[in-house]
Amino acid sequence: MSSYDFVVIGSGPAGRRAAIQAAKLKKSVLVIDDRGSVGGVSVHTGTIPSKTLRESVLNLTGWRERQFYNRRSTDKAQSNCAALNSRLSKTLHHEVDVLEQQFARNNVHTLQGRAQFVDRHTLQVERHEADRTATELVTADRILVTVGTKPFRPDYVPFNDRTVLDSDAIVADLTIPRSLTVIGAGVIGIEYATIFSALDVPVTLIEPRDSFLDFVDREVISNFTQQLLDRGMSIRLGCSAESIVLDEMDCPVVTLNDGRVVRSEMLLFAAGRKGATDNIGLDKIALEADHRGRLTVNPDTMQTSVDNIYAAGDVIGFPSLASTSMEQGRIAACHAFDAPMPTAPHHFPYGIYAVPEISTIGYSEEQAREKGFVFECGIARLRETSRGHIMGLQSGILKCLFELETGKLLGVHAVGEGATELIHIGQAVLNLGGGIDFFMENTFNYPTLAEAYKIAALDAWNRMAPAKKGEVVKLKKPKSKSRKKAA
């Protein structure tokens, strides 16, 4: 039986950051993962493959230059399906290599196998070796659960991982269908629907609710939706699938609750994910997951109700991002080994890598109104920036919300080229408590898309009450709090 200070179950973003943080604190660390190689959902089926696919599709189809050269995409991309798969596998191997090296440099041990609790300090790890299954026991002072999620696969969907797939299977061996139905307009559904639509694949998106991506500013979503409709995507909101069957060619046929029938060559079912806690022996440690397999933790420490057991990443639910999972992993490791961390800022960015990109931080117009802020909005259209002309941008907006009284930035919301990078300027200003004066006083590089911040700020300023002009608050430094170990 081997023994460690810290054992991490799962090598996704939360697990790996936690493991390296604990190793930096001179603790002995083991990471257990049941996949063939480290990296988790993020590297193998989630973030990295989907973003690599997006980038490859934009390159292969000349998407960014369409405005100038009017290139059509399907033929070129379809004949290059092998190129797409090869780029996916290259990126994946590179990610795994880097991660393995980081673990090795930091003396983090890894073990391939499926872990389950025996008691609050002991795990049994089941390993498949050639033709036999071996088990071994591992003990630890502290244990972090970062087992992530699995796609939700209800019985009424005839998954065959070829023509009816979930988001894990779609990247396992990518093919480009002649038509695609996507069920679920969450982040995953939206990203894949728009990536395939950028390949000129006819896409039908089906969502039971009347709206989608509700955490994003509605003006941004309406701009985004218009772009999708303009390029021919069918968006069926407020519709659910009454039945899904396979026809004689194994192609999915979806009958909607309003009687309409949607046929396509492939169907992606992307209606959420479920915490991978089913078989990890939670009963042995008196922990219980909720109906979606999620664990509850103290968000300041990542401690579960069993004080030596922590959980982080997607298994604890919202926001279920690689970016936030990494921070949660570090918080858990620091807390476990008495290395206090400053409290994370309240606002974090959300990047949706659709085509076009959407990114958002802070309050949307709807949330700001709900919270009782009195504010003004400024909007910049990317096609009105010089950089936008050079790039041939026809669409995309950046919207900033400023509190009327103080000029403080309340939120930034963007759709269009570069949105997921541009958002970080807004993030810095927002989390440092800054406001409209930053954008008014500072000179930006020209020509850049960042100039959109200046344009949006001027747009808002022009509409703010004259008495307030020039009275924009000088900023107070935010206080940093320390994350103290819970008693």
Ligand X SMILES: NC(=O)c1ccc[n+]([C@@H]2O[C@H](COP(=O)([O-])OP(=O)(O)OC[C@H]3O[C@@H](n4cnc5c(N)ncnc54)[C@H](O)[C@@H]3O)[C@@H](O)[C@H]2O)c1
Residues that bind ligand X (CB under 6 A): 183-189, 191, 207-209, 212, 240, 270-273, 319-321, 351-353
- Shortest spacing between CB 314 and ligand FAD, in angstroms: 4
Cβ within 8 Å of residue 87, ≥6 positions away: 52, 56
Nearer to ligand FAD, 265 or 314 (CB): 314
Report the Cα 471 to chain-centroid distance in Å. 38
- Shortest spacing between CB 187 and ligand FAD, in angstroms: 7
- Shortest spacing between CB 197 and ligand FAD, in angstroms: 16
Return the number of other C-beta atoms located less than 10 Å from residue 39's C-beta. 24
Residue 237, SS3? strand
Nearer to ligand X, 24 or 51 (CB): 51
Task: Out of 52, 80, 163, 167, name the contact with ligand FAD by CB under 6 A.
Answer: 167
- As a whole number of angstroms, the distance between CA 478 and CA 482 comes to 13
Query: Residue 22 corresponds to which amino acid?
Result: A
Report the Cα 80 to chain-centroid distance in Å. 27
| DSSP code at position 263 | E
Return the number of other C-beta atoms located less than 10 Å from residue 429's C-beta. 24
360 forms part of the interface with ligand FAD (CB under 6 A): no
- Shortest spacing between CB 413 and ligand X, in angstroms: 15
Nearer to ligand X, 186 or 392 (CB): 186
Nearer to ligand FAD, 21 or 50 (CB): 50
DSSP for 373-418? --EEEEEEEGGGSHHHHHHT----EEEEEEETTT-BEEEEEEESTT
- Shortest spacing between CB 208 and ligand X, in angstroms: 5
323 forms part of the interface with ligand FAD (CB under 6 A): yes
Nearer to ligand FAD, 15 or 388 (CB): 15
Nearer to ligand X, 122 or 149 (CB): 149
217 is in an annotated binding site: no
In the block, residue with structure tokens 């050639």: 130
190 is in an annotated binding site: yes
Query: Which residue is closest to ligand X by CB?
Result: 186
State the DSSP H helix or E strand holding residue 198, giving kind and residue range, or none if neither.
Answer: helix 187-198
268 forms part of the interface with ligand FAD (CB under 6 A): no
| Whether the Cβ atoms of residue 381 and residue 393 lie closer than 8 Å to each other | no
* Interaction partner, residue 148 (ligand X, ligand FAD, none; CB < 5-8 Å by kind): ligand FAD
DSSP for 202-230? -EEEEESSSSS-TTS-HHHHHHHHHHHHH
- Shortest spacing between CB 321 and ligand X, in angstroms: 5
- As a whole number of angstroms, the distance between CA 143 and CA 426 comes to 36
185 is in an annotated binding site: yes
Closest by alpha carbon to 12, among 93, 87, 99?
99
State the DSSP H helix or E strand holding residue 274, giving kind and residue range, or none if neither.
Answer: strand 273-275
322 forms part of the interface with ligand FAD (CB under 6 A): yes
Task: Out of 280, 410, 419, 456, name the contact with ligand FAD by CB under 6 A.
Answer: 280
Q: How many residues in the chain?
A: 487
Sign (positive/negative) of CA torsion 236, 237, 240, 244? Answer: positive
Return the number of other C-beta atoms located less than 10 Å from residue 162's C-beta. 11
Nearer to ligand X, 60 or 170 (CB): 170
309 forms part of the interface with ligand FAD (CB under 6 A): no
Tell me, residue by residue from 17 to 46, as one string, x for binding to ligand FAD by CB under 6 A and - for no binding.
---------------xxxx----xxx---x
473 is in an annotated binding site: no
- Shortest spacing between CB 265 and ligand FAD, in angstroms: 20
Closest by alpha carbon to 11, among 46, 35, 47?
35
Task: Out of 313, 349, 362, 396, name the contact with ligand FAD by CB under 6 A.
Answer: 313
Question: Which residues contribute to the annotated binding site?
Answer: 51, 184-191, 207, 272, 314
Binding-site residue ranges for NAD(+): 184-191, 207, 272
Residues that bind ligand FAD (CB under 6 A): 9-15, 32-35, 40-42, 46-47, 50-51, 114-115, 146-149, 167, 188, 276, 280, 313-315, 320-323, 325, 353
